[in-house]
Structure 1
Amino acid sequence: MDKLKKVLSGQDGNNDDGDILQVASTLGWGTRMKGFIACFVLGVLCSILGTCLLWIPRVGLILFAVLYTLGNVASLCR
Structure 2
Amino acid sequence: MFETLKADLTKAYQGVTAFVQAPAQGRWSQEGARTAEEDIVIFEVMVADLDLGQWQQRRGDLEIRFRQARVVIRHMDIGLI
TM-score with structure 1 setting the length: 0.25
TM-score with structure 2 setting the length: 0.24
Greater share of helix residues, 1 or 2? 1
Greater share of strand residues, 1 or 2? 2
